Structure 1
Amino acid sequence: MRLKTMLAFACLGILTGTSLPETGPLPETKPDTEDTQPTPSETPVPQEKPAEKPAGEKPAAPADAEQAPDETAPAEEKTGEMQGPPKPPLTIASEPEDEHQECEKELQAMGAVFKDVPRIDDGNGCGIDKPISLTEALPGIKLKPEGTIRCQTALALAHWMKQSVIPSGEVALKDAGPIVTINQASTYICRLRNNATTGKISEHARGNAVDVASFTFQDGTVVAVQPRKEDSTLTGAFQRAVSAAGCLYFTTVLDPESDANHEHHFHLDVIERHGGFRYCH
């Protein structure tokens, strides 16, 4: 027991005589380099990954890529839009002499009354290379007033009258007698379409068009071209029939159902389109 007590005191003395160092080893200072990491407050915030575009969608063009103008934006918002080179002045289409002579022979054979008039050149594309002045589209059917047009326009008018308008009139207004007059509102005139101040040149300015305002029958009955979509009479049927048949002979037919500009006449023209396309409304 005494031996155990002496050993305990000895251990205690050893423990009390030992102490920790006042300071521990200091960490080494890192050298000052460009690779020094930023402090937490300086750490850049990671940017979000751009959303993936659906399959098939074209990637956005680079900022410096040439962009097409926004066709949906108002004209006043399209700034800096490059303009193309100025268009050359419009010229009068030439008519081959052999084709013109062939047309006049066919027109004469149908009994039309007309005469050749000097070439018309009013500038800006207005004019007719080989114009004619048409007095009667068919024997006994006058064009009032007489109109200056191309032979091809007169020929289309004669065929339309002979094969469609006259037969339709005989059925719809048989008591009025035959048609004796085509009352026209316009043949050749130098202007833009629909008398606008800007836009494309009218086919009237090329001699390709005639506007028909009404038909006069032998007994004095006048059938005016007017809105007749809901007209259930024979007169209404007559107008709708001759309007529909017009596209067999003309490449453009606009009637009172087309728009406000044609409420009181047929616009008939022979403009040439690719593939024989025709516009009839």
Structure 2
Amino acid sequence: MLTLAAVLLLLCPDAGMAYGHVPLPKPRPVEAPAAATPPSAEEADQQPGDSEPPAAAAKPEPKPAPQLSACRLALTEQIAIAPSIPDIHGAGGCGGEDLVRLEAVVLPDHSRVAVKPAAILRCAMASELTHWIRDDMAPLAARLGSKLADLDNFDSFECRGRNRVVGAKLSEHGRANAIDVRGLKLANGATISLTDRAASREVRETVLVSLCARFTTVLGPGSDWYHEDHVHLDLAQRRGGYRICQWNVWDPLPVVAPLLPAERPEEAPPRAVAVRAEEGAAPAAPQQDAAPAEAEPQPEAEPAPAETAKPVPQATKKRREHRRL
């Protein structure tokens, strides 16, 4: 029977349907597209319309480097050692942008003038100070027979009011737009002091002219008692381009104070000495150094007539008695 059924199946394939046999599918062609993989459990739970989860967390893009100002591009290491520092935004408007830390000024011969201590300034202020040292002070030091070595920085950026007065208007120091200078040290050990009366007047006047030509504010001795030992410099912008230059180049103090009396010359006659007469003491004899001149006889003074007593009014007597009470 089995042999007969197999023969009938080969001769008539449709006959197998009668016996409950299902034909096998044909093999998949090579050029057919790949079968879709079944979705994972996470994909199966995802609702329709939901976006697909990212494959990996994207890294934040780095911030672009800030654009350098024209001042920053010009203030190269060939003329100054002044690295940039972050902007400062303090309370009450303190701080500023485009800031540098001026550490030294490079002269044309490549020598350096150290700024002690280093000054925190806006780039424009640092640039003007640098050119003042290179173009004005370096030639002055050469005329004095030496070279610049240090700049004495008394104060630069400081968040405070003017003259450190509480409640005063914000100083240009608080905007990093000012510097206080006391002097410049030379390589031979000498110093160009800006406020020393004993220093050369010609040198101090030369410094004064150069500073007032470059900076919008120059305050030194004579401006107020806050600036007697240093000179304040800033680039404050005012209406109409108004500038302030207040600095008195004082002369040296006299060796002898003019209020003291002059010394008595040797040929002057001796001074008469008054001696108080004590009880029982003989009067001092006059000095015999100089012959006394003969006294001219004086006319006898006539005695003054005695004033006649005037009667006192009764009302005046009562007032006097009332005062005594």
TM-score by length of 1: 0.59
Q: Which structure has greater helix proportion?
A: 1
Please report how far the alpha carbon of residue 156 of structure 1 lies from its aligned counterpart in structure 2 after TM superposition.
0.9
- For 2:162 and 2:106, the matched residues in 1 are separated by 28
1:145 aligned partner: 117
| C-alpha distance in structure 1 between counterparts of 2:80 and 2:211, whole Å | 19
Residue in structure 1 matched with residue 168 of structure 2 by the alignment: 199
Partner of 2:226: 261
Q: What is the aligned counterpart of 1:186 among 136, 150, 155?
A: 155
Structure 1 pair 147–105 and aligned structure 2 pair: CA distance change class (3 A): same
Report the residue type matching 1:153 in the other structure: M
What's the CA shift string for 1:11-59, capped at 9, x where partnerless? xxxxxxxxxxxxxxxxxxxxxxxxxxxxxxxxxxxxxxxxxxxxxxxxx
Q: Which amino acid aligns with 1:208?
A: N
CA distance in structure 2 between the partners assigned to 1:110 and 1:271 by the alignment: 27
Give the conservation status (yes or no) of the 8 Å contact 1:192–1:200. Answer: yes
Number of residues of Structure 1 aligned to a counterpart in Structure 2: 177
For 1:117-196, list aligned pairs within 5 A. 117-139=85-107, 140-171=112-143, 173-174=144-145, 177-196=146-165
* Aligned residues with identical type, % of pairs: 31
**What secondary structure does 1:239 align onto?**
helix
Contact 1:224 1:264 in 2 (8 A): no
Counterpart in 1 of 2:81?
A: 113
| Aligned-pair Cα RMSD in Å | 1.9
> 2-side partners of 1:242 and 1:209: how far apart?
17
1: CA distance, partners of 2:176 / 2:78: 20
Change beyond 3 A, Cα 1:247–1:193: same
Q: Match for residue 226 of structure 1?
A: 195
8 Å contact kept, 1:185–1:212: yes
Residue deviations 1:155-205 (CA, integer Å, cap 9, x gap): 11012112222222322x22xx11111010011000111111122110000
Contact 1:110 1:158 in 2 (8 A): no
The equivalent residue for 1:244 is 209
2: CA distance, partners of 1:108 / 1:180 = 20
Amino acid at match of 1:213: R
* Structure 1: gaps spanning 5 or more residues: 1-96
Other structure's SS at 1:264 match: coil
Kept in 2, the 8 Å contact 1:227–1:256? The answer is: no
Equivalent pair of 1:137/1:154 in contact (CA under 8 Å): no
SS in 2 for 1:272: coil
Is the Cα–Cα contact under 8 Å of residues 252 and 271 in structure 1 kept in the other structure? yes
Runs of 4+ in 1 over 6 A off after TM superposition: none
Identify which of structures 1 and 2 has the higher relative contact order when contacts are C-alpha pairs closer than 8 Å and 6+ apart: 1
The structure number with the bigger radius of gyration is 2
By how many angstroms is 1:109 displaced?
6.8
Unmatched 5+ stretches in structure 2: 1-65, 247-325
Which whole-Å deviations, capped at 9, do the CAs of 1:91-125 have from their partners, x for residues lacking one? xxxxxx77x62112222175111111111122111
The alpha carbon displacement at 1:225 in A equals 2.6
